[in-house]
Structure 1
Amino acid sequence: MFNLKLSALVFALPLVLAAPSKRALPAECAKLAPVAEDLLENLFEGVCGDSAHGALRLIFHDAIGISPVVGGGGADGSIITFNETELAFEANDGLDDVLADVGPFFLKHQNVISSGDFVQLAGALSLAACPGAPKVQFFAGRPPPKAASPNFLVPEPFNTTDQILERFASVGFSPPEIIALLSSHSIAGADTVDPTIPGTPFDTTPSVYDTNIFIDVLLKGFLFPGTAGNQGEVMTAVNGTLRLQSDFELARDPRTACVWQEFATNQPLMASKFAPAVLKLSLLGQDVNKLTDCSALIPQPPALKDTPEFPPGQFLSDIQDSCAVARFPDLPTQPGPPLDIAPIPQADGGDDDS
């Protein structure tokens, strides 16, 4: 079983989020309002930090566990109920610490919420303190999972673009929807790609849901933040950030490059496409007609006025232009010395490779 230590994570000044209202909620949703309040106040604590990153990661790793060939229950909470099996999967490396962070909250409320609903509720709530993030819908009523997910269903950062597109296509996701889901990397980081540098954010400044990830991945890479030669990692362009091989290749593949570029300069579009893609992910393996829309439990994340810019010292000439039908636009360059992004402060032992 996973370790039940609670997070002691402290970030910058937390946001004050309104507690979900119990008024006029369907009964299925009203009983979950105390769970949502507890997660907002005592797990996420109003910050877009490591606990939020981990909860968002769980949405994906739980839901993608379904295949028309080998089965699986999809977004059913099996990653919690059958954690001894699923945490042994290579692609779920690091999730033991995520479950150590969020697991006590599920055990506290398991009499009123299924493991599948808990994963999706926590993931939707995790974005509430991330400036610029969209509000993600949440549906409740998932039955308990029947079995562990089969292995080898979670894409890895060293998989080829063909493998990633085929895996997602098998459960109904188009290439643009895949890129929309990768917007989550704007607020995520890695511990296990290069274990010598835990908490390394991906090609972006973490904790703000903005376009940096889509700009920075297109820059010519020239450094590693830690050690070289790690599987699934390629050189990055901003010191202190880690670039996944899969992100690098998807940003340059003709099937996905133009969507990637469009998100790089259009934060509202990025957010508007992410929300329905995550909802679709959260319903894999479920009959939506048997679920209840409890989206009223999810607060609206704070707004963000995003101005797309190149990092200090980088310019249009540093972009590896990959969209065949539109040139990458010339953006302003941030003033100041070259960036050196600090690691993400970790929840107590937490990992996050969203």
Structure 2
Amino acid sequence: MAFNTLSVVFLAITTARLTSAAYSKPVTCATGQKTAHAACCVLFPILDDIQANLFDGGKCGEEVHESLRLTFHDAIGFSPSLGGGGADGSIFYFDKVETAFGANAGIDDIVDAQTPFINKYNTTITAGDFIQFAGAVGVGNCPGAPRVPFFLNRPAAKAASPAGLIPEPFDSITKILARFAEVNFSPEEVVALLASHTVAAADHVDVTIPGSPFDSTPGVFDTQLFIETQLRGTGFPGTGGNNGEVESPLAGEIRLQSDAALARDPRTACAWQSFAANQAKMQREFGAAMAKMAVIGQDKRKMVDCSDVIPIPKPVVGTPHLPAGKTMGDIEQACTSSAFPTLTADPGPATSVAPVPPS
């Protein structure tokens, strides 16, 4: 694991630490880009650097998947009763503590990958800002993603997050919803936030099948997750799971126990189904949920809106569909108030999903 050279005490605070109230006139930065707030100018060199050197020229690949995971695992570390700083970069500042949490298995890889960038820009932005900025930029590399809002001005973390605050795929839905309710997320917002799984893959849920994606199009931010999770799981369990994995209907695809349960639980099934054929709704609600998650534990009144620095994602590729070899009879209806949208299947033999290659 890389050694974090940045001190917990964050000095040399720059203009990026000023509040949005101090700025109202759009400016042209020294780099030539325009932004609504001068404080945001510091982000453009960072943007160019991580697109070229963290995200492999702006691809929607493994580093994007892992950076998106890191935004959540850092932010959810807050409880009104147990403490924690939320989206404050504590997973970087106190990496040896937090990467040892069971729910953070494998996350040290992306912490290590981001560490040189965080140290490089440590007099410009905090680790908490960098983690959320990288997540917003990275997901924007995926066709179909929303332009995720980004706010600047998180202070440096003062302490590690308490253990046990990160929901795990084998947790009950009641426990997951209660954990999110602690940080003011409704069940519908939980489902919206999990749209992130459409560009995700798992290495440590089942170590026998690393790089297994959660849907058949992990390079596209589309609604396939909400369709394929609703298929009856008959045929392709992993061989080394027992860590929150359940049977998947597609070869090469992994299905989290929590995703399967959320798609079928009466508290969340209709919200899950509502995204299945509605790309615009998924984009809108995921973007709002991400923006809310990214400021857990923070005072938004002291932050600068730098959303206009985030690149505009490309349009979605493809349309909602059933995987090849499936029919509407394979859909396991769970929402009791409306029918699942009628979809057609891709032509050809039964779908087999390739693993996401490592970076």
Name the TM-score, length of structure 1 as normaliser.
0.91
Q: Shift in Å at residue 306 of structure 1?
A: 4.1
What secondary structure sits across from 1:129 in the alignment? Answer: coil
In structure 2, C-alpha distance between the alignment counterparts of 1:181 and 1:304, rounded to whole Å: 18
In structure 2, C-alpha distance between the alignment counterparts of 1:21 and 1:263, rounded to whole Å: 39
30-39 vs 115-124, which moves further: 30-39
- Equivalent residue in structure 2 for 1:39, among 32, 42, 50: 50
**1:317 and 2:317 equivalent?**
no
Q: Shift in Å at residue 28 of structure 1?
A: 2.0
What secondary structure sits across from 2:261 in the alignment? Answer: helix
Structure 2 gaps of 5+ residues are 5-30
Q: Shift in Å at residue 231 of structure 1?
A: 2.1
Deviations 1:19-62 (A, max 9, x none): x9633453321122211111112211221000111111111000
In structure 2, C-alpha distance between the alignment counterparts of 1:233 and 1:24, rounded to whole Å: 44
**1:26 and 2:61 equivalent?**
no
1:2–1:83 Cα contact (<8 Å) kept: no
**1:81 and 2:93 equivalent?**
yes
2:219 is matched with 207
Superposed, which structure 2 residues align to 1:244-255 within 5 Å?
244-255=256-267
1:265–1:308 Cα contact (<8 Å) kept: yes
1:9 is matched with none
In structure 2, C-alpha distance between the alignment counterparts of 1:172 and 1:96, rounded to whole Å: 28
CA 1:313 to 1:64, structure 2 compared with 1: closer, same or farther past 3 Å?
same
CA 1:49 to 1:21, structure 2 compared with 1: closer, same or farther past 3 Å?
farther
1:100 is matched with 112
CA 1:147 to 1:71, structure 2 compared with 1: closer, same or farther past 3 Å?
same
Deviations 1:169-199 (A, max 9, x none): 0110001100000100000000001111111
Q: Shift in Å at residue 304 of structure 1?
A: 1.4
In structure 2, C-alpha distance between the alignment counterparts of 1:228 and 1:141, rounded to whole Å: 42
2:228 is matched with 216
In structure 1, C-alpha distance between the alignment counterparts of 2:174 and 2:34, rounded to whole Å: 48
1:17 is matched with none
The structure, 1 or 2, with the larger RCO (C-alpha pairs under 8 Å, 6+ apart) is 1
What secondary structure sits across from 2:293 in the alignment? Answer: helix
Q: Shift in Å at residue 111 of structure 1?
A: 1.8
In structure 2, C-alpha distance between the alignment counterparts of 1:294 and 1:229, rounded to whole Å: 41
Q: Shift in Å at residue 104 of structure 1?
A: 1.5
1:186–1:211 Cα contact (<8 Å) kept: yes
1:203–1:236 Cα contact (<8 Å) kept: no
2:118–2:130 Cα contact (<8 Å) kept: yes
Letter in 2 for 1:26: H
1:186–1:206 Cα contact (<8 Å) kept: yes
CA 1:306 to 1:267, structure 2 compared with 1: closer, same or farther past 3 Å?
farther
Q: Shift in Å at residue 86 of structure 1?
A: 0.3
141-150 vs 195-204, which moves further: 195-204
In structure 2, C-alpha distance between the alignment counterparts of 1:136 and 1:307, rounded to whole Å: 22
1:288 is matched with 300
159-168 vs 297-306, which moves further: 297-306
2:353 is matched with 341
Superposed, which structure 2 residues align to 1:1-354 within 5 Å?
1-2=1-2, 22-44=33-55, 45-224=57-236, 226-227=238-239, 229-304=241-316, 306-347=318-359
What secondary structure sits across from 1:37 in the alignment? Answer: helix
In structure 2, C-alpha distance between the alignment counterparts of 1:21 and 1:58, rounded to whole Å: 31
Letter in 2 for 1:148: A
In structure 2, C-alpha distance between the alignment counterparts of 1:21 and 1:254, rounded to whole Å: 51
Q: Shift in Å at residue 107 of structure 1?
A: 1.6
1:16 is matched with none
CA 1:228 to 1:54, structure 2 compared with 1: closer, same or farther past 3 Å?
closer
In structure 1, C-alpha distance between the alignment counterparts of 2:96 and 2:138, rounded to whole Å: 24
Name the TM-score, length of structure 2 as normaliser.
0.90
CA 1:250 to 1:112, structure 2 compared with 1: closer, same or farther past 3 Å?
same
Letter in 2 for 1:47: K
Letter in 1 for 2:51: L
Q: Shift in Å at residue 228 of structure 1?
A: 5.3
Aligned residues: 332
Letter in 1 for 2:44: A
Percent identity, please: 51
Letter in 2 for 1:250: L
Letter in 1 for 2:204: T
In structure 2, C-alpha distance between the alignment counterparts of 1:103 and 1:225, rounded to whole Å: 35
In structure 2, C-alpha distance between the alignment counterparts of 1:319 and 1:207, rounded to whole Å: 24
Deviations 1:239-267 (A, max 9, x none): 10000000000000011001111101111
